[in-house]
Amino acid sequence: MSAAPGHAHPRIDMIGNTERALQDRALQDALGRALPVFRDLRIAVAAEVPDWEVLCDTAARIKDHVLAHLDTYLIELEAQLAALGGAVHWASDAADARRIITDLARVRGVRRVVKSKSMTTEEIHLNPALEAAGITVVETDLGEFVVQLAGDAPSHIIAPIIHKSAATVADLFAQKLGVPHYERPEDLARVARQTLRAQFLAADMGITGVNFAVAETGTLVVVENEGNARLTMTRPRIHVAVMGIEKVVPRLADLGVFLRLLARSATGQRASVYASLVTGPRRTGETDGPEEMHLVILDNGRTRVLADPELREVLRCIRCGACLNVCPVFERVGGHAYESEYSGPIGAVITPALRGLEHAGELPFASTLCGACLEVCPVKIDLPRMLLELRGRAVRAGLTGRMDRLFAQAWTFVMGSPGRLRLLGGLGRLLQRPFVRRGKIDRLPYPFNGWTAHRTAPPLAAAPFRTWWKSRRSASPQGVPRERETR
């Protein structure tokens, strides 16, 4: 894979980030509290749907069909939106998208922009570009507002400040907004609501993402709980929506499938509080709604993923975040460790896929391959398979460490013959002796020290399995099948 065009990414230091995250008590507490709640809620509402698996399967097949005919559906969407008086802009990469949106704002004399939460606009780093053009940008999702005030980055697809406590937010609001030190989340939410109301009323442009775009009707769908996206798309005179090429669905009725899956998978709600289906700008005689509507359709590496038969399936993703909530690695390290707006198992695949493996070679290794992500995915993306695929590619591209390769080669050699395995076992039992303390190995010398840095290893058993097996067989000849000696 080559680098994503137009935007240089530094290499992601997943291992270093993990070390730091594991030391962060507050992060560990916050994730440990929030994620089990998400998981339990999801299980309860998914169980209510009698044909959950059929629904997931239908969603996956609709997405696969769209991906096979993406050009057709995007052209249909464009034509429908144009007929309604909307405008479509095509962006090949992040820089292209930033330029399109900044130009739209500049030409129209826009001074203030309100935004609702959108992973795609995070992906293209839109805010700094608008600010550089002298435009004020305000994030209006409660979590994103906090992120912006703190100069932080979101750490979860749907819960951007899952890493922050209410007390941290209270400090931030007191410091930046000059309000008393409120402790209760409802008071903090009220402060944010009041602060942001003024912003909505003053803004000339509202920027949102898109959850789904319906080709046959030209409808854009934005799903949320707070109402800030509705305000963003309703109040300012210009609405700009940004979506990846994969967000299009063929039929209006397809939304029935996706909306039923999305909220249940994301937050464990039966439905999100608001699903806004906007079909073109304000019509004649209407007293609110945007006068202008623009849709920016973004590639930014997606066609590269589309062309890749092994990874194409990730483009089914509806950004629900269910895989984050069940991932044992995400639960320990949080979203920031992935250094991308897409974290967790989906991020470990999508970031290397979009940016290029050379920028994110460690990410596919940040998984235990336990399979929980596949189990909860509402569009059945086989993330474990793709994580393995990317690991293989990273090894073949020489992106893994020299020591890793050496170990893998040695392991292959040893496992290649029973005699060699027996020999190594005997040697290991002998060499481990000075390191076994109270029945555990908790410290090994270089180059094995990485293994014991965060965990203890059980020592090799006194007798190998083969010896145990033989003694067991002679003890009860009927109890176990006869071993076939192959050599």
Partner 1 sequence: MSRDALLARIRAASPGAATVGGLPSARDARPAPPELPALPAPQAFDDPVGLFIDRARDLGAGVERVASVQEAAEWTAAWVRRRGLRRVAVWETPDLAPVLDGLRAEGIDILGPGSPVETLAQADAGVTGAEWGIAETATLALASGRPQPRLVSLLPPVHLAILRADRIVADLHAFFVRCGALPSSLTLITGPSRSADIGSVLVLGAHGPTEVLILLIGR
**In the range 320-349, which residues lie near partner 1 by CB under 8 A?**
none
Residue 179 region, left (φ>0) first, then alpha (ψ -120 to 50), else beta?
Answer: beta
3-state class (DSSP) for residue 292: strand
Interaction between residue 28 and partner 1 (CB under 8 A) = no
CA distances, 219 to each of 82, 86, 260, 273, 381 (Å) = 11, 10, 18, 19, 26
Whether residue 129 contacts residue 97, with contact meaning beta carbons closer than 8 Å, is answered with no
| Cβ proximity to partner 1, 361 vs 378, nearer residue | 378
Whether residue 302 contacts residue 315, with contact meaning beta carbons closer than 8 Å, is answered with yes
Q: Could you tell me which of 361, 369, 208 has the C-alpha nearest to residue 275?
A: 208
Residue type, 383: L
**In the range 413-432, which residues lie near partner 1 by CB under 8 A?**
none
| Cβ proximity to partner 1, 222 vs 383, nearer residue | 222
Interaction between residue 110 and partner 1 (CB under 8 A) = no
- Residue 414 contacts by C-beta under 8 Å, 6 or more apart in sequence? 420, 421, 424
3-state class (DSSP) for residue 84: coil
**In the range 208-267, which residues lie near partner 1 by CB under 8 A?**
217, 219, 225-228, 230-231, 234-235, 245, 250-257, 259-260, 267
Distance (Å, rounded) from C-alpha 388 to C-alpha 367?
10
Determine the interface stretch with partner 1 among 127-135, 299-307, 337-345, 362-370 (rule: CB under 8 A): 299-307
Interaction between residue 26 and partner 1 (CB under 8 A) = no
Distance (Å, rounded) from C-alpha 346 to C-alpha 152?
21
Find the shortest distance in angstroms from Cβ 377 to partner 1: 17
Find the shortest distance in angstroms from Cβ 303 to partner 1: 4
In the stretch 346-375, what mask flags binding to partner 1 with x, by CB under 8 A? ------------------------------
Interface residue with partner 1 among 175, 303, 368, 449 (CB under 8 A) is: 303
Dig out the tokens for 164 from the structure. Answer: 């922050």
CA distances, 42 to each of 129, 212, 347 (Å) = 37, 21, 20
In the stretch 30-69, what mask flags binding to partner 1 with x, by CB under 8 A? x--xx--x------------xx--xx--x--xx-xx-xxx
- Sign of the CA dihedral with 172 first, then 175, 178, and 179 last: positive
Interaction between residue 165 and partner 1 (CB under 8 A) = yes
Interaction between residue 114 and partner 1 (CB under 8 A) = no
Quickly count: other Cβ atoms within 10 Å of residue 128's Cβ.
10
Interface residue with partner 1 among 272, 340, 343, 367 (CB under 8 A) is: 272
| Cβ proximity to partner 1, 199 vs 351, nearer residue | 199
| Cβ proximity to partner 1, 84 vs 133, nearer residue | 84
Find the shortest distance in angstroms from Cβ 271 to partner 1: 4
Find the shortest distance in angstroms from Cβ 279 to partner 1: 4
Tokens 């639960």 appear where? 331
Pairing, β 219-224 against β 112-115: unpaired
Interface residue with partner 1 among 3, 189, 444, 457 (CB under 8 A) is: 189
Determine the interface stretch with partner 1 among 123-131, 287-295, 380-388, 462-470 (rule: CB under 8 A): 287-295
Interface residue with partner 1 among 140, 148, 211, 351 (CB under 8 A) is: 140
